[in-house]
Chains A and B, each alone.
Chain A
Amino acid sequence: MLAFISRRMAAAAAMLLVIGTIIFSLLIIIPGDPAELLLSTGGGSASPEAIANLRSNMGLDQPVLVQYVSFLYNTARLDFGTSIVDNGSISSVIALRLPRTLEIIVAGTILALLLAIPAGTAAGLRAGGKFDIATSAINALLTSVPGFVLGTLFIYFFAQVLGWLPAGGYVALATNPAQHLQMLILPSLTVGLHLATIVFRMTRASVLEMRGHDWVRTAVAKGLRRKNVVRRHILYNALGPIITVVGLQLGILLGSTVLVEFVYNWPGLSGLLVSAVEQRDYPTVRAVILTVAAIFIGINLVIDILSSLLDPRIRLQ
């Protein structure tokens, strides 16, 4: 087990190095000069002299190789440096924003699991029944509506028409817990409903497959209470693929809550990435992508270990 984990860790580090190098090269290649952009944001145009001065302040007048080596050296020491736009510490911005993105994802995931696992189990157990048909139809509808459309509709109904909830924004939990929770509802609902459709399909399929197995028939024949049959013999065995899917989705969500964050003005990590790309704030873009990649790889590692605990056969492979 220990060898398995350390092998995985080494592979993860190598993967991060490759990702870092690719990001670095891509940012060099894409057009757009941060100094020029910053000084022309207002539709104005700065003198070449002013742009050259700013480029030198930003450290962009250094040779590419020097920039690359210092990037690798600093990243290895977990020092992401400062933003070239406002000189703020990147690590502290990430430390501030990552929890907010995680907050939407965790809240959305809990919501998705609470909705989808019971609904998926019920639908799978009585496949073809009224409940199955109804939930599958709702599921198909939700799957086909993109998150940002759902978000826009929610804002329209809950903020503009009904006036129940704010249209978007963020207030820290410590500043005003009630307002914080109010602002969390719509983003996590949007993320959660979308994730729920995936978990629902997986649960339903998995339960459908498990309930046909011999051991389920045996358990029923033995006279076990049906509740226990469902819990211990069907759902427990059906959990493997569900955990894998949820784990993968968690990683994907880290990079893809961007639309939800944008629609609701939720200042998370994805929003930081988008504005950094727009401003060509190279160090910030690199730091955010590396952070997301590291978490993604970390989650996969955990999923591997969890799966091997649930199903010992995996350890032997």
Chain B
Amino acid sequence: MTPSDCLNPTRRSVLISLGAGVVALTLPQGALAQTPASILKFGLSTFPPTLKPFDNTGGAANTVKLMLYRGLMGYDAGGKLVTELAESVTWNDPTTAVFKLRQNAVFHDGSPVTAADVAYSLNEITKDSSTAYLKSDMKIIAAVEVVDDKTVQIKLKAPCAVFLDLLASYCCPVISKKSTDSAIIGAGPFTLKGSEKNVYIEVARFKDFYMADQPKVDGIRFIAYADENLRYAALEAGDVDLIEYLPWTQFDTVEASKTLKMKTTLGPFMFLLFNVTTGPFANPKVRQAVGYAIERQDVVDAAFAGRGKPLYGFPNPGGSQFDLADPAHEWKYDVEKAKALLAEAGYANGFECRLLATATYGMHQDTASVVQAYLGAIGINATLDLPDWGTRVNAGKDGKYDLAVHGTSGNYNDPDALWSLLYSGNPSYLQSFGFKSARIDGLLEQGRNEVDQAKRKAIYQQLAVAYYEEVPQVPLNWRIQAYAMKQSVEGFEQLPGFLSGSSAYALDETKFA
């Protein structure tokens, strides 16, 4: 028996399989480029769980929602607040706003956008059974009055400095009163063409969108890539034209690339939260000590590949109209000061604690590791707790931690956007567990209800002082968010600061060179 004998059938089958492989490899590459050039392929970080117009179910969902639905207000590509379905807004007095709707604004079913639709939409947000993201914010509305078909008057219970920003939110669209739970009728620049759960969503240009020359592309195909490296690989391989959340480790590659480019902003920020109901962290001095104990540049370097900026104090968003810098109070890295504060609080020998983050997001986990190391240096021995995201959210809300890492952004570039992080209304995983401050709550309310900008600045300066004294959170760093795209993609801009999550507004003007 020779090897060649017994290899006879082998050789044939190997050849057959090799042949099959070669045939498959030589299939026309053009197949990949068959979609028309004016369909923009957008790599999302996750598949939108739902497209319910008023709920906030994540950045990917908000991006797609902005394609399908629009509200009275919006933002231009530079982040400036502009009218959207409304043509104009006039404040009769600080609590009464009159909106004139655009004559040519129509819903996807062809019916015109009317004042009654605006009233219907706002009622959907504020009604008792609603699950809307802006439900409590919009409770400031006292009455919505339909003046005529194209005029609506909104009466507020109190003046609200950010009311127009709230109306520009991706969670505040105007939908047709003929909408049902399963069939939402919006007035966005695109209509829903097709989708498959966890795979793709395709939208097609709405030819009757109120801006005659927008959108510039015929359609957008959103494809979900949960793995950030694959999302980048898909861009590099040419499978998609534009991706969100470019991984920080790829910034260098894109900067050096001749075929790709990116748009960035210092948007969200990372911070530490405390369980202030028990233990050492109930004492603000201990929280301040933590503020002084961490070298923030190391967090930026370790967790964000150097793509961020240390944040030593009050997280006033980029693009905010107020300068609230207060270098004297800022928590610059100072181990001696941190140790002194710990000693003052009665913890000269340090203590043990649990540091909660999540293994779902590498940046949270890496941030926690750096924080753990620096806390160790002042005698605080933190044990890492890294559950999956779902468990992390619950643990945060139920106070099952001593110290926690979190990162988020507000919705507009005004200190008021910190409301959900600082106002002690509801127990939330975004806030230090058990932290309540009548002073901070009062200042936030004053700032929102004041329309004189000079007075607002004074209020937010006081808020910053309260922030340093009471330490509702310890900020760590701003992180750079980036969209990456092919060189041939033009007109897309990353909206600045906290508006990063609303960058989908810029897709209206995005086109291929």
Contacts and interface: CB of A to CB of B under 8 A. Distances in A.
Interface in B1-56: 1-3, 5-11, 13-14, 16-17, 21, 24-25, 27-29, 31-32, 34, 47, 49-50, 55-56
Interface stretch (B87-95, B106-114, B220-228, B464-472): B220-228
Given A118-B14, A265-B225, A272-B198, A37 B390 contact: yes
B349 interface: no
Interface in A39-62: 39-51, 53-54, 57
A226 interface: yes
B442 interface: no
Given A40-B393, A178-B31, A185-B24, A122 B10 contact: yes
A115 interface: yes
Contacts of B196: 96, 267
A256 interface: no
Contacts of B391: 30-32
Contact of B129 (A53, A96, A226, A278): A53
A237 B61 CA distance: 57
A182 B426 contact: no
Contacts of B133: 39, 44, 46, 50
Nearest to A164: B25
Contact of B223 (A169, A263, A271): A169
A169 B234 contact: yes
Interface in A52-100: 53-54, 57, 85-88, 93, 96
A38 B49 contact: yes
A32 B393 contact: yes
Interface stretch (B207-215, B235-243, B279-287): B235-243
A246 interface: no
Interface string B385-420: 001111101110100000000011100000000001
A283 interface: no
B325 interface: no
Contact of A36 (B31, B47, B56, B397): B397
Interface string B153-182: 000000000000000000000000000001
B59 interface: yes
Interface string B127-151: 0011111011000000000000000
A163 interface: yes
Interface string B49-76: 1100001111101100000000000000
A159 interface: yes
A43 B234 CA distance: 26
A163 B235 CA distance: 11
Nearest to A168: B230
A146 interface: no
Interface residues of B, number: 81
A41 B394 contact: no
Interface in A250-308: 262-265, 267, 271-272, 275, 278-280
A240 interface: no
Given A47-B426, A86-B49, A263 B198 contact: no
B69 to A, nearest CB: 16
Nearest to B17: A114
Given A125-B1, A263-B227, A272-B198, A280 B390 contact: yes
> How big is the A interface, by class?
35 or more
Contact of B393 (A36, A176, A229): A36
Given A50-B132, A168-B225, A227 B55 contact: no
Interface in A82-131: 85-88, 93, 96, 111, 114-115, 118-119, 121-122, 125-126, 129, 131
B237 A167 contact: yes
B318 interface: no
A182 B233 CA distance: 16
A176 B31 contact: yes
Contacts of A46: 56, 131, 133
A47 B133 CA distance: 8
Interface in B418-442: 420, 425-431
Contacts of A272: 198
B24 A181 contact: yes
A150 interface: no
A122 B5 CA distance: 10
B315 interface: no
Contacts of A247: none
A156 interface: yes
B319 to A, nearest CB: 19
Contacts of A230: 1, 5-6
A160 interface: yes
Interface in A144-163: 152, 155-156, 159-160, 163
Nearest to A151: B230
A185 B26 CA distance: 12
A163 B237 contact: yes
Contacts of A279: 49, 390
Contacts of B21: 185
A42 B56 contact: yes
A234 to B, nearest CB: 9
A267 B223 CA distance: 11
Q: Which of B6, B230, B238 is most buried by chain A, counting CB atoms within 10 A of its CB?
A: B6
A3 B208 CA distance: 68
A169 B32 CA distance: 11
Contacts of A231: 9
A267 B28 CA distance: 23
Interface in B86-123: none
Contacts of A31: 387, 390-391, 394-395
Q: Which of B21, B59, B426 is most buried by chain A, counting CB atoms within 10 A of its CB?
A: B426
A21 interface: no
A23 B129 CA distance: 31
Contacts of B131: 39, 46, 50-51, 53-54, 57
B400 to A, nearest CB: 9
Nearest to B23: A181
A166 interface: yes
Interface of B: 1-3, 5-11, 13-14, 16-17, 21, 24-25, 27-29, 31-32, 34, 47, 49-50, 55-59, 61-62, 129-133, 135-136, 182, 196-199, 223-227, 229-230, 233-234, 236-239, 268, 360, 387-391, 393-395, 397, 407-409, 420, 425-431, 501
Given A111-B17, A265-B223, 14 more contacts: A36-B393, A38-B49, A42-B61, A48-B427, A54-B131, A86-B197, A122-B6, A125-B6, A159-B236, A160-B236, A166-B237, A167-B230, A169-B239, A227-B6
Pairs of residues from A and B, 10 with the lowest C-beta to C-beta distance, nearest first? A32-B390, A118-B10, A41-B58, A43-B408, A226-B1, A45-B428, A159-B237, A167-B233, A167-B237, A178-B31
14 contacts: A36-B393, A42-B59, A42-B501, A45-B429, A45-B431, A50-B135, A85-B49, A86-B197, A163-B237, A166-B237, A168-B239, A181-B27, A263-B227, A278-B389
